Every structure is written in structure tokens, then in C-alpha cells.
Amino acid sequence: MCGIIGYAGNKNPMPILIGGLKRLEYRGYDSAGIAILNAKKFYVQKSVGKIEQLVKKISYRQNIEGGVGIGHTRWATHGKPTLTNAHPHNSCDNKIWVAHNGIIENYKDIKNQLIAKGHKFKSETDTEVIPHLIEEYSKKGFDFKKSVRLAMSDIKGTYALTIINSDEPDKLIAVKNSSPLLIGITKNGQYFAASDATALLTHTREIIYLNDKEMAVLNGTGYQIETISGQSINKKIEVLKEKEESIQKSGFPHFMLKEIFEEPEAVENAINGRLIYKEGTAKLGGIETIKNELSKINHLTITACGTAYLAGQIGEYLVEELSGVSSKVEYASEFRYKNPVIKNNSAILAVSQSGETADTLAALYEAERKNCLTLGIVNVVGSSIARQTHAGIYNHAGPEIGVASTKVFVSQLSVLILLALFLGRQRNLSLTEGKKIIMELSSLPKKMRQILKQAPLIKKMARKYSKFDNFLYLGRKYNMPIAYEGALKLKEISYVHAEGYGAGEMKHGPIAMINKNFPSVAIATTNSVYEKMESNIEEIKARNGRVLAIATKGNKKITKLADDVIYIPKTLEPLEPILTVLPLHLFAYYFGVLRGFDVDKPRNLAKSVTVE
Ligand code: M6R
């Protein structure tokens, strides 16, 4: 959701900004733009649609020898995706250009005040007030940095900003509050600002994460970091470990397919080095320091959004079943606005791939305000949620570029199993049970690879069902959230209507929809609720509904009930979701591709939802 790249140095900023914007494409956007400042001259270009449109309008060979530049991919919030609304935005005197990710909540008031002072606005965006506000302070005689600071004290809201000003042409100022922003540095005078590290991997691995209300001043000779109130700070330089290949398609037609095929590896990376077989428990370095507090908790709230929320739903069952600690999953967008009851000896766990989801972050702030212990399961190292929590566990799944979350979902499930196991072994879970879970968890990647071998069959199924525009996904117990996830994935990338339902609820409404044109995908694995699922399938068949079933290998009976069956290997019931979701991810992928959509960048969606 909006991507920002900024550069200060002695190289031509144009290809650096365009390259960075391409790397940020996965975040989701509908227009893009750049502004470069060299020897007091601006080069500005914007376009609606893909970066290719922007590239067509500019020449890489334009001879710009160094300078400062800012680039932006915009995901429309205030105003349609038009050229006028595309960033960067400028001041009346054209000296100040700004790119922004976030929302300025009091922009209407500020805009009215500025209009009264004679400022002219062109766009419908909230962002445009920023360059005008900075201009207003510059006119009063404040230098660039001070003007930015004063402007920041006037605005309310969330922002990651990059700002350039022809009065001080060697400077790029980057400011952060709640929206993600980091700084990249090199030893040879190249400085960068970006929404995330993937944009910088080809240039540097040395990163400084900005905290809220911090700003960086970059130029070709160095950088300074200060708080918005002007206190200078010494920040730690972190070195990124991500491999360049992790952000390449490596021969796959789409990132989504590559990432589905990386699901077994994601499970391996989540569990490697974290299993202690002889003690039947998990070793989780990130929560080691708070293990005593964790041994005393009697409630765990899990909070997240989207697919991460669905992982959390499974987490709730896992924690209760394995540890006996009461648990509840809550949408972060609800948790942050209700008045959650936080009892003594409870903890909140935020689950997030990006670590930047605005609602999840806000839910954590709310919990912390009420003195609750905060934990995180996060994929992106150094992200806001990772830094906000008291302790946490990283997924180590590597960058996930496809907007639809796939490999990180199974990674989140793996970490939730480890956490539930850890809490269980602190309490009443037996050594034998613990060992059984460890053994089975270790065998999952192999079983997942067996499922992946069925990709051609699943593609065939997707083709067979691709003519339908409505789907019901059904599951029970651990597989109910998998029904939701299967449906979410299908609608996200294929734009067909798909509803996930707890199969036990089918008779309470959705059964009314069933007919021969409304197929159901039923997760009917051989487990404690299999017979119930079988009855649901019978009921659908009795109403001429078609059924595609996900069943456990060896269940021949189901072929007589369902129209089509995809088999998965047998595993322990609490671990099943890691296997049952895999065919559903593949089904959604092939379905979306068959319908001719760009599955890596579904319309209207953003990878990282940094505004609420
Ligand atoms: O980065 P997060 O895990 O916090 O993101 C949460 C959701 O926005 C995300 O899972 C979203 O639902 C995906 N598009 C699902 O595929």
C-alpha cells in the first residue's frame, strides 16, 4: 500500500528510483511518479497504471549526474487514481516536492487555512497540504529542516514522507510516523529511503529502521537522524540477510506459484533449530526472556487481519487444545476500537506477515496501554510490529512478494503449533504427546511435497470448475479457518464470489444457495469430525450441488459421495491445516490464471495495509 523510494548521492537517480519502484510494485498501487532535483532543476514525471507507463514517459539515459530524488507508488485513498492525484506533490512555488504513505487526518482544516492564505491546490489528496505547509514555514525564514519539523507538529495522522527542496538541493528529508520507512546507507556516498528493504537489496544491505516521530536528513556526503523535535540520535545499523533470489521469480511464471511451491521450505524454516525432541517441546529464542511470565498466563488473545487472522483462528484452537490456556482470536480492526477486557496474567499475540498492518499495530498499542504483555509472530525482520512487541518469534519465511499470502500462512501455522506446544509443555501436555507432535511436524514438509506433485491434477480441477462464479467452502474444527482461507484466496485473485463457512452452520442459511451452479469445496479429512462432514456432503448432493472434496489418502468411500476428490496424506488433526490449505492455494492460483488475471497483483489490493 503506497511505496516510497528516495535517493541522495552522486549517481543518476532516475534508474535507481525506477528500479526501486519496480521492487515495491508488489505492495499494490494504481499510479506512480518521480521527482528528481539536480542543480536546482526538477525532473518530474507521473503516470496512472503500471510502472511501465511511467517508464514510457521518461528516458533512463537522461543525463542526470547525481542529486536527490523521490519516487512513489500510490494506492488511492483520497481521490481517484488520476495523474493529478499521483505523487509527488508540490508547493505553489514548485520548490518543495513530497511523496507520502499514510493518511493526514486533519488535512481538510489545514487545507482551508492554507487556501485562506492564498495557496492553490490541484489534487484531491490529503498529501498535498504537506508541501504547502512546509512552504508556508519556509516563507517565514525557517530553513528546510526546521520547516519540515514545524509542519509535522501541525499535522495529525500517519506518514512516511520523503521531501526535497530546491532551496537546499543536496538534501532529502525522510520522516516517519506509523507508516513504514527505513534508510539504506553505503560506504561510497549513496543514501536511500524506502518503505521496505526489498527496494534496496541491489544497492545495500545496511539498513537503519526509523522509529515513529524520527526523521533522517540524507545528502551525498552523509546522513543525520533526529527526532521530529530536533534531538539527534545514534541509530544501530542492521545488516540484511535476505538473498537476492528470494525476490526473483526463479523460473516460475508468478511469485504466487513460486511461493506456494516454497510452502514446505517455509515450514522447515519455521521449525528448524526450534524442536527439542527429548523434551517434547519447542525452543523459541525470541520468547526465552519472558518464559516465566508465559508460564503464568491464563489467557491469550490473538489479533491479526486477513489471512493472518485465519492463522490466528487455528492458533486459538491449538493453544486451547495443547496447553489448556484459554484463547480467543480477534480482528485487530475490532480490538482496537472496542473496550477489550484485559485481565491479569494474560497476553496478546499479534500475527502479521508484513509487520506493518495498521490495524494490528493499533491493537497492540491498545493492549500495551492496558499493560498487557505483547507478543508477535512476524515475518519481516525489523518491522514496526516486531519492534513494538515485548517479545516475539520470527517466521523466517523470506520475502513474500505475491499479494495473496501463501507460504507465510503455513509458516504462521507452524510457529503457532510451536508456541502452543511450548505453552502446553509448560503446563499439562505429556512428554509423549509433545514428542508425537514434534515427529509429525517434522514429517510435514515431505507430505507437502507429495501434495505439490498433484499440481497438474489440481490445475485440471481448476479448469473444470472455472466456469462457476459462486463457491461455498466448508470445513469444521481446525479446517473451518481453512475453508475461510480457501474462499478468501479464490476471491482475492479470481474475483469470483466464494464464501467460507463452518460446515456445522451450513443448515442455518447457506444451504439455501445450493444448486447445480453453486459448487462446494468440502474439507473432509479423516478426523474427529469426518462423519459430520460426510453428512454435509450428502445434504449438498441431495440438492444437486457439486462437491470438490479434500480428503485423506485411503478414503475410497468419498469418491462415491463427492464429484471430485483431491487427496492429502494423513497427519495429526491439529496439524492438518498445513496440508489441507495447500491444494486450496493451488486451486485458487490456477483458477485466477485461467481467468486471465494478474494473480501477483490483484486489483484493489495492497500487500501491506499500512492505513486503516
Ligand atoms: O501483513 P499482514 O499479515 O499483517 O497482512 C494481513 C492481511 O492484510 C493479509 O493477510 C491479506 O489478507 C492477504 N492479502 C491475504 O492473502
C-alpha cell at 514: 445450493
Instruction: Give me the CATH number covering residue 192.
Output: 3.60.20.10
Per-residue confidence band for 60, with pLDDT thresholds at 50, 70 and 90:
low
* Residue 414 Cβ contacting ligand 1 at under 6 Å: no
For ligand 1, what atom is nearest to the CA of residue 385? 4
β-pairing, 31-38 with 206-209? unpaired
Whether 141 and 46 map to the same domain: the answer is yes
- Active site includes 2? yes
Instruction: Indicate the residue among 219, 246, 273 that finishes a domain.
Output: 246
Q: Which of 95, 111, 601, 607 is catalytic?
A: 607
Q: Where are the alpha helices (DSSP H) in 336-392?
A: 358-369, 384-388
* Residue 354 Cβ contacting ligand 1 at under 6 Å: yes
380 Cα to the center of ligand 1, angstroms: 13
Give the span between the Cα atoms of 134 and 560, in whole angstroms.
71
- Say if residue 131 is preceded by a cis peptide, omega within 30 of 0: no
Domain that holds residue 195: 3-246
For ligand 1, what atom is nearest to the CA of residue 360? 4
Is the predicted pLDDT of residue 169 greater than 90, yes or no?
yes
C-alpha cell at 92: 505553489
Instruction: Indicate the residue among 452, 471, 489 that finishes a domain.
Output: 452
354 Cα to the center of ligand 1, angstroms: 8
pLDDT mean over 535-559: 97
CA distance to 116, 234, 312, 483, 507, per residue, from 327 (Å)? 54, 40, 10, 21, 27
* Residue 360 Cβ contacting ligand 1 at under 6 Å: yes
308 Cα to the center of ligand 1, angstroms: 6
Give the span between the Cα atoms of 207 and 222, in whole angstroms.
14
Please indicate whether residue 343 or residue 147 has the higher confidence score (pLDDT): 147
pLDDT mean over 116-120: 97
Q: From atom 11 of ligand 1, which residue's Cα is the shortest distance away?
A: 306
pTM check: above 0.85: yes
Whether 294 and 309 map to the same domain: the answer is yes
| Lowest-pLDDT choice from 26-35, 316-325, 422-431 | 26-35
351 Cα to the center of ligand 1, angstroms: 10
Pocket test for ligand 1, best of 336, 351, 352, 353 (most atoms within 8 A of CB): 353
Task: Supply the mean pLDDT for the chain.
Answer: 95
How many domains does the structure of the chain reveal? 3
Whether 201 and 306 map to the same domain: the answer is no
pLDDT on residue 382: 86
Is the predicted pLDDT of residue 514 greater than 80, yes or no?
yes
Phi, psi torsion values for 137, nearest 5 degrees: -70, -35
Per-residue confidence band for 241, with pLDDT thresholds at 50, 70 and 90:
confident
Angle among Cα 437, 286, 283 to the nearest 5 degrees reads 30
Cβ neighbours for 29, distance < 8 A, ≥ 6 positions apart: 2, 3, 73, 74, 75, 606
Provide Rg for the chain, Cα atoms.
25
- DSSP 8-state class, residue 210: P
Question: What's the one-letter identity of residue 549?
Answer: A
Count Cβ atoms within 10 A of the Cβ of residue 523 and give its class: 0-12 exposed, 13-18 middle, 19 or more buried: buried
Whether 412 and 480 map to the same domain: the answer is no
Q: At what angle do helices 407-426 and 576-594 cross, to 10 degrees?
A: 170
Per-residue confidence band for 317, with pLDDT thresholds at 50, 70 and 90:
very high
Q: At what angle do helices 407-426 and 263-271 cross, to 10 degrees?
A: 30
**Partners of 70 in the β-ladder:** 6, 35
* Residue 461 Cβ contacting ligand 1 at under 6 Å: no
Per-residue confidence band for 242, with pLDDT thresholds at 50, 70 and 90:
confident
Whether 347 and 467 map to the same domain: the answer is no
C-alpha cell at 566: 483431491
117 Cα to the center of ligand 1, angstroms: 42
What is the DSSP code string of 395-410?
-------SSS--HHHH
Q: From atom 16 of ligand 1, which residue's Cα is the shortest distance away?
A: 404
* Residue 352 Cβ contacting ligand 1 at under 6 Å: yes
| Any domain includes 331 | yes
* Residue 306 Cβ contacting ligand 1 at under 6 Å: yes
Phi, psi torsion values for 250, nearest 5 degrees: 45, 50
Pocket test for ligand 1, best of 198, 259, 305 (most atoms within 8 A of CB): 305
pLDDT on residue 27: 87
| Any domain includes 120 | yes
Whether 170 and 270 map to the same domain: the answer is no
Whether 373 and 233 map to the same domain: the answer is no
Instruction: Give me the CATH number covering residue 462.
Output: 3.40.50.10490
492 Cα to the center of ligand 1, angstroms: 11
* Residue 404 Cβ contacting ligand 1 at under 6 Å: yes
| Any domain includes 604 | no
| Any domain includes 603 | no
C-alpha cell at 112: 482551508
For residue range 184-227, list pLDDT tens digits in order: 999 988 999 999 998 999 999 999 999 999 999 999 789 999 99
Give the span between the Cα atoms of 535 and 522, in whole angstroms.
11
For ligand 1, what atom is nearest to the CA of residue 305? 6
Q: From atom 8 of ligand 1, which residue's Cα is the shortest distance away?
A: 306
**Partners of 567 in the β-ladder:** 551
| Any domain includes 444 | yes
Give the span between the Cα atoms of 200 and 88, in whole angstroms.
20
* Residue 24 Cβ contacting ligand 1 at under 6 Å: no
Instruction: Indicate the residue among 428, 452, 476 that finishes a domain.
Output: 452
Per-residue confidence band for 62, with pLDDT thresholds at 50, 70 and 90:
low
Give the span between the Cα atoms of 344 and 25, in whole angstroms.
44
Is the predicted pLDDT of residue 82 greater than 90, yes or no?
yes
What is the DSSP code string of 267-330?
HHHHHTT-EEGGGTEE--GGGGGGHHHHHH--EEEEEE-HHHHHHHHHHHHHHHHHH--EEEEE
270 Cα to the center of ligand 1, angstroms: 18
Whether 42 and 18 map to the same domain: the answer is yes
Sign of CA dihedral 187, 189, 194, 198: negative
559 Cα to the center of ligand 1, angstroms: 35
pLDDT mean over 315-327: 98
Whether 415 and 480 map to the same domain: the answer is no
For residue range 454-470, list pLDDT tens digits in order: 999 999 999 999 999 99
pLDDT mean over 552-574: 97
Q: At what angle do helices 306-323 and 407-426 cross, to 10 degrees?
A: 20
Strand arrangement of the beta sheet that strand 3-9 belongs to: 41-48, 31-38, 67-74, 3-9, 191-194, 182-185, 206-209, 238-239
pLDDT on residue 131: 98
Phi, psi torsion values for 530, nearest 5 degrees: -60, -50
Q: Which of 2, 95, 372, 489 is catalytic?
A: 2
CA distance to 499, 509, 551, 556, 583, per residue, from 521 (Å)? 10, 17, 11, 18, 11
| Lowest-pLDDT choice from 22-26, 133-137, 453-457 | 22-26
For ligand 1, what atom is nearest to the CA of residue 353? 3
| Any domain includes 71 | yes
* Residue 104 Cβ contacting ligand 1 at under 6 Å: no
304 Cα to the center of ligand 1, angstroms: 9
- Active site includes 607? yes
* Residue 357 Cβ contacting ligand 1 at under 6 Å: yes
579 Cα to the center of ligand 1, angstroms: 20
For residue range 419-446, list pLDDT tens digits in order: 999 999 999 999 999 999 999 999 999 9
Whether 397 and 431 map to the same domain: the answer is yes
| Any domain includes 612 | no
Q: From atom 14 of ligand 1, which residue's Cα is the shortest distance away?
A: 404
pLDDT on residue 41: 87
What is the DSSP code string of 412-454?
HHHHHHHHHHHHHHHTT--HHHHHHHHHHHHHHHHHHHHHHTT
| Any domain includes 607 | no
Whether 93 and 196 map to the same domain: the answer is yes
Give the span between the Cα atoms of 147 and 65, in whole angstroms.
28
Nearest Cα to Cα of residue 526 among 490, 579, 563? 579
For ligand 1, what atom is nearest to the CA of residue 607? 14
- DSSP 8-state class, residue 341: -
Q: From atom 10 of ligand 1, which residue's Cα is the shortest distance away?
A: 307
Cβ neighbours for 36, distance < 8 A, ≥ 6 positions apart: 13, 14, 17, 42, 43, 44, 64, 67, 68, 69
Whether 77 and 119 map to the same domain: the answer is yes
For ligand 1, what atom is nearest to the CA of residue 409? 10
Is the predicted pLDDT of residue 1 greater than 80, yes or no?
no
